[in-house]
Structures are given as C-alpha cells and as structure tokens.
C-alpha cells in the first residue's frame, strides 16, 4: 500500500512509527517464518506489552518460556531504536557467540525488508556479525569474554539466555559503567536454577530492590496454547526440562543435588525462629531443650579465610527435627566456647565436629573444656567410637573427617533423608543453601559465590544418625541389658562352674562401672 501514500502521508507514517515501536512493527516489519517464509510481523498482546516495557523502562529482565518469539520481538525493538535514533550503539551478548550473532542476523533481516521509503537510514557497513547505518547507529554481536563492551559507551545492551552465561556477575560489574550515560539493558532467558546473576536480578526486580523491570512469560501467555498443547509438548520431557523450557520455574530448573521437587516440599516446614540468641544474634532456636528427647549437635568449622562461615545444627534425633542452628563468622576459640555452651544447653548432647584443618583446634579446646560427649571415629573406616572407649586407642580421632571418600556418602544420606521426608527443616538459611548446592563436574558443592556449611553439617548429621548411631544400637542395647541385670540382681557370677571366670575380681567391677558411666555420659547415644 505504500506506493499509494503521498509525501505528506509518508511523513506522517514516519513520525508515527518513530513514536510507537508497536505500531511500526505491526504495520511495516516482516520476519522469516520457518514454514511460511517471509510474513508480516504481527504481535500478540503479550509481545506488544513487552515492546512497550522496552520503551518505558531503562532496564528490563524477562523470565520466559521457549518459542514465544521474544528474541524476535527484541530484534524488532533494536531495529526501531537504530532506525529512528542517531548514533545508537547496541551490543548483543550471549554465552555462545553464535546465539548473539543470530539475533544480529534477525535485526538485519527486518531492516532489509522494510519499505524503501521507511529506510530513512540504510546499512553502510555490513559484516557477518555487525553492521552500521548511515545515521551512525551500529550493532555487533559478542561472546561473554571478560573485556566485552568495556571500552565503549552503550545505548543498549542485550544479554540473550542470561541465566546460562557463566560468570555474568563479574561481567555485569564491568559492563554497568558502559550504560552510565543513559544506556539501556534487556536481559532475557529461560531459568537455569537459582543463585546465578539472572535469578538474583529477577528476584530483586520483583522485590523492587534494583533498577530492573521484571516480566514473566510462561508457556500459557501465548493465546494459541492450551492444556492439550502442553500435554503433547511435554510428553517426552523430563520434569526439569518442563520447568526450564515452559514453566519459568527457577527452583526446579537447575542441576541441584537435591531434587527441586523435594526442595519445594521442605518449604512447608520453614518458619522463623522463636528466638535469635548469641552474641551476634545468629543462633536461631525453634525448640528449647526437652529432657525427654535426645539430641545431636553437628558443627562445620570455617576455613579461616573469611569467605565461609562456622555453623552447627542441633537435631532432635528421635524425629530428625531441626531445633536450633547457628551460622556466623567467629573466631575459633569463641566458636569452641559457643559450641560447648550450646551443647550443654541441650543436655550435653553428642557433639560431632568436622575435624578437617582448623576443626582440630576447636576439638582440642572442647576436650580442654571437658565437654562430656564428643564424637570420635576411626581414621580408616570412619566408624563411630564411643568416647569412653576412644581414649588411648590408636587410629581413633575426635570428630568426623570429610574426605573424597566420605563426602559422597554423607551427601547421599542427606538426599535420602530429604527424599523420604525423614527430616524437618525449619531454617530458611539451610533451604537457600540447598537451592544453590549443585553438581559441578560430578562433584556436589555450593554454586560459585555461595556457601554449603549448613548443608554439609546437616549431611553429617543424617549420616551419623542413620549409620553411626544405628550401627551401634545392638551393642548399646546389650550393654544396657547387661548392666540392668547386674545392678538389679546385685548378685555375683557363680565361679564354681569349670572354665567360667568369676565376677569377684576388680577387672569386671571396673568394666561394669565403665558401662554405667557410658550411659550416664552419653544419654543421647543410648536413647538412639
């Protein structure tokens, strides 16, 4: 219809297109369709709203499902910005250079298929991954290298599949100053777990604690998609794929060690603590000591480099319910004192301290304090050894050793407890760590920039409860029965039977006394 427009009408259309990107794209832009070839650009309502957001907000973060045409909409907006504004500098970034180059290709295709009269600026410099218009506006593609875009002032930064860009936190620190002269940013992506820059930015945008405007576009915003479409599309997809590709679900999209569905189940029991105690108010208490219950306390000691935390849990081992928790940065001697005080507060419960590195110094101080119930284990098998039997025994060390051998065992035990709903988590701090506890090249560990001290101490607690304590239950019950029989009858053994060793000697008096002391000193262990 353009050939029938008068000069006055053309001028009017140019002005209208320059004011309204939605009007411009719906009336004059064309895109390449994989089935139908070159077709007119027609935006759906949600796409038009997104274009308006691009125009109204300086920073936009878009959490999207796949195949909604968001990259194409972004390309259309870039065309509008470059065509109707002089000297605009646009940079497209993605984790793969090809992804960024593909968006630049879409921009170029829309530009080349505009009506002749509407190309008020034409392509003057044309390269495979960049081009420049006669009005001075330019666009180029870039991979996420450390120096990408740092040396130039940007009018618009587009970060495609931002959740999948490794190290974007550091990149953003360098890129943000390039937008200081009024530059804009569009970050778009499907989710890829929690803890990364995209997740943090989107959540902060929803909470209105940063400058980004959030937009969430799950699969059903598209008017042509219904439940039948969803069921057909997801027939051969895993739960994680559905969460990532279609549902915009952060929690269920990442490669977390604990399955995302199991993490979601834990959220039901998370509550604020009844008290926040300790010198730094980081000792969270949900339940006070009950003498009828048995408790287990497990501690993870910070490395001492200031980057991680010292932490401990107190667990009711009768039902594996979290009753108290600490996480903070504290000096080793103060942490040892804190452990001893907290343990005594819960009846002198069995205390397990990870003995790696500086953990030994904490254990030494606890022994100096005379804490009554320290966990001991063998170096070779890592099996639990009762404290009264550990003294002077070779190959027995205080605490629990986390190594390449034991780490997968305790993490597997934690996963088993959570999957089977055998543990009650009260702490939001622990829950958040579980969300960022991921597989990294086959190794379970915290995502870069996050901590796993609460996760690992809880993993040790599950392992000790299910393996160390339960494995000793038979011998404990035997000793309890033996002691009960001897103390109740107050009789000595008959030494007249040939071959039987008499009870009258001091050796056996001492052994019974040892068992009696063990029950007194380790009530948590003997109650199981």
Are residues 343 and 301 located together in one domain of the fold? yes
Cα(373)–Cα(350) distance, integer angstroms: 5
User: Does residue 525 surpass a pLDDT of 80?
Assistant: no
User: Does residue 518 surpass a pLDDT of 90?
Assistant: no
Which of these three, 254, 281, 311, is where a domain ends? 254
Q: What are the residues facing 188 on neighbouring strands?
A: 62, 160
Are residues 436 and 405 located together in one domain of the fold? yes
Other beta carbons within 10 angstroms of residue 48's beta carbon come to 17
Are residues 269 and 247 located together in one domain of the fold? no
Structural domain containing residue 38 = 2-254
Tens-place pLDDT, residues 142-173? 887 655 556 678 999 999 999 988 888 888 98
Are residues 50 and 159 located together in one domain of the fold? yes
Q: What are the residues facing 355 on neighbouring strands?
A: none
Average pLDDT over residues 113-140: 91
Which pLDDT score is estimated for 487? 43
Tens-place pLDDT, residues 34-63? 677 788 889 999 999 999 999 999 999 999
Are residues 153 and 286 located together in one domain of the fold? no
Cα(108)–Cα(30) distance, integer angstroms: 11
Number of domains into which the chain is organized: 3
Using 50, 70 and 90 to split pLDDT, how confident is the model at 508?
very low
Which pLDDT score is estimated for 500? 31
Are residues 87 and 233 located together in one domain of the fold? yes
User: Does residue 439 surpass a pLDDT of 70?
Assistant: yes
Cα(184)–Cα(202) distance, integer angstroms: 16
Tens-place pLDDT, residues 257-300? 888 888 889 999 999 999 999 888 999 999 999 999 999 999 99
Which pLDDT score is estimated for 306? 59
> What angle separates helix 21-28 from helix 7-19, to the nearest 10 degrees?
130
Are residues 107 and 244 located together in one domain of the fold? yes
Q: Are 526 and 476 in contact (CB under 8 A)?
A: yes
Which pLDDT score is estimated for 195? 79
Q: How far is CA 255 from CA 52, 189, 259, 442, 460, in A?
A: 34, 17, 8, 11, 22
Residues 6+ apart with CB under 8 A from 237: 245
Which of these three, 254, 281, 314, is where a domain ends? 254
Average pLDDT over residues 238-246: 81
Tens-place pLDDT, residues 60-71? 999 999 989 999
Which pLDDT score is estimated for 406? 82
User: Does residue 504 surpass a pLDDT of 80?
Assistant: no
- Give φ, ψ of 94 to 5 degrees: -155, 160
If you average pLDDT over every residue of the chain, what do you get? 83
Tens-place pLDDT, residues 325-334? 999 998 888 9
Which pLDDT score is estimated for 470? 62
Give the rounded distance of the alpha carbon of 337 from its chain centre. Answer: 31
Which of these three, 219, 254, 289, is where a domain ends? 254
Q: Are 201 and 212 in contact (CB under 8 A)?
A: yes
Residues 6+ apart with CB under 8 A from 187: 60, 61, 62, 159, 162, 198, 201, 212
Are residues 212 and 83 located together in one domain of the fold? yes
Which pLDDT score is estimated for 156? 95
User: Does residue 385 surpass a pLDDT of 80?
Assistant: no
Which pLDDT score is estimated for 389? 62
Give the CA angle between residues 220, 222, 225 to the nearest 5°: 65
Question: 476 vs 461, which has greater pLDDT?
Answer: 461
Average pLDDT over residues 227-255: 82
CATH number at residue 201: 3.40.50.300
Average pLDDT over residues 214-224: 94
DSSP 3-state of 170: helix
Are residues 75 and 138 located together in one domain of the fold? yes
User: Does residue 512 surpass a pLDDT of 50?
Assistant: no
For the chain, the C-alpha Rg in angstroms (whole number) is 33
Are residues 56 and 182 located together in one domain of the fold? yes
Question: 327 vs 497, which has greater pLDDT?
Answer: 327
* Distance in angstroms between the alpha carbons of the first and the last residue of the chain: 85
Cα(139)–Cα(92) distance, integer angstroms: 8
Which pLDDT score is estimated for 519? 44
Which pLDDT score is estimated for 489? 39
Nearest to 374 by CA among 303, 323, 299, 310: 299
Tens-place pLDDT, residues 204-216? 999 899 999 999 9
Are residues 498 and 356 located together in one domain of the fold? no
Question: 237 vs 298, which has greater pLDDT?
Answer: 298
Tens-place pLDDT, residues 473-483? 544 444 444 44
Nearest to 340 by CA among 349, 330, 329: 349
Tens-place pLDDT, residues 16-38? 999 999 999 999 998 877 677 78
Using 50, 70 and 90 to split pLDDT, how confident is the model at 381?
low
Q: Are 314 and 346 in contact (CB under 8 A)?
A: yes
Contacts 24+ apart (CB under 8 A), 73-76: 73/43, 73/47, 74/103, 74/158, 74/160, 74/186, 74/188, 75/103, 75/106, 75/107, 75/110, 76/21, 76/25, 76/29, 76/31, 76/41, 76/51, 76/110
Are residues 449 and 493 located together in one domain of the fold? no
Cα(298)–Cα(458) distance, integer angstroms: 7
Cα(481)–Cα(27) distance, integer angstroms: 89
Which pLDDT score is estimated for 169? 87
Count CA within 13 A, CB hemisphere, residue 143: 6
User: Does residue 495 surpass a pLDDT of 60?
Assistant: no
Tens-place pLDDT, residues 301-315? 987 655 678 999 999
Average pLDDT over residues 456-477: 74
> What angle separates helix 453-463 from helix 407-419, to the nearest 10 degrees?
80
């Amino acid at each position: 219809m353009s050939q029938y427009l008068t000069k006055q009408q053309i001028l009017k259309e140019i002005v209208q297109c320059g004011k309204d990107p939605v009007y411009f794209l719906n009336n004059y832009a064309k895109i390449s369709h994989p089935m139908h070839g070159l077709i007119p650009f027609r935006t759906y309502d949600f796409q038009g709203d997104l274009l308006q957001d691009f125009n109204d907000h300086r920073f936009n973060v878009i959490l999207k499902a796949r195949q909604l045409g968001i990259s194409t909409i972004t390309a259309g907006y870039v065309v509008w910005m470059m065509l109707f504004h002089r000297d605009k500098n646009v940079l497209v970034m993605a984790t793969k250079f090809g992804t960024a180059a593909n968006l630049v290709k879409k921009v170029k295709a829309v530009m080349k298929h505009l009506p002749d009269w509407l190309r008020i600026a034409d392509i003057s410099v044309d390269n495979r991954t960049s081009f420049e218009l006669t009005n001075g506006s330019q666009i180029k593609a870039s991979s996420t290298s450390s120096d990408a875009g740092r040396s130039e002032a940007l009018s618009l930064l587009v970060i495609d599949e931002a959740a999948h860009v490794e190290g974007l936190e550091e990149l953003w620190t360098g890129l943000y100053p390039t937008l200081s002269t009024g530059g804009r940013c569009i970050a778009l992506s499907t989710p890829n777990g929690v803890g990364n820059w995209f997740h943090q930015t989107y959540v902060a945008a929803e909470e209105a604690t940063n400058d980004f405007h959030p937009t969430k576009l799950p699969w059903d915003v598209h008017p042509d998609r219904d439940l039948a479409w969803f069921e057909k599309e997801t027939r051969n997809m895993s739960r994680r794929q559905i969460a990532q590709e279609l549902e915009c679900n952060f929690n269920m999209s990442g490669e977390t060690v604990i399955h995302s569905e199991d993490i979601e189940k834990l959220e039901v029991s998370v509550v604020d603590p009844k008290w926040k105690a300790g010198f730094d108010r980081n000792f969270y208490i949900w339940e006070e000591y009950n003498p009828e219950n048995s408790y287990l306390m497990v501690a993870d000691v910070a490395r001492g480099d200031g980057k991680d935390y010292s932490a401990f849990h107190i667990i009711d081992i009768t039902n594996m319910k979290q009753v108290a928790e600490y996480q903070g940065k504290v000096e080793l001697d103060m942490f040892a004192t804190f452990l001893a005080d907290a343990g005594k507060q819960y009846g002198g419960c069995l205390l397990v301290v990870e003995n790696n590195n500086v953990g030994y110094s904490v254990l030494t101080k606890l022994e100096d304090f005379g804490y009554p119930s320290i966990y001991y284990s063998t170096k070779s098998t890592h099996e639990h050894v009762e404290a009264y039997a550990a003294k002077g025994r070779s190959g027995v060390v205080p605490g629990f050793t986390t190594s390449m051998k034991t780490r997968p065992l305790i993490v597997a035990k934690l996963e088993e407890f959570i999957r089977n709903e055998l543990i009650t988590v009260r702490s939001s701090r622990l829950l958040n760590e579980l969300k960022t506890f991921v597989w990294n090249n086959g190794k379970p560990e915290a995502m870069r920039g996050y901590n796993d001290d609460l996760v690992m101490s809880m993993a040790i607690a599950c392992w000790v409860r299910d393996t160390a304590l339960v494995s000793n239950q038979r011998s404990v019950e035997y000793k309890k029965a033996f002691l009960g029989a001897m103390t109740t009858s107050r009789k000595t053994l008959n030494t007249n039977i040939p071959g039987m060793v008499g009870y009258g000697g001091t050796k056996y008096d001492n052994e019974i006394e040892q068992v009696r002391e063990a029950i007194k000193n380790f009530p948590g262990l003997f109650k199981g």
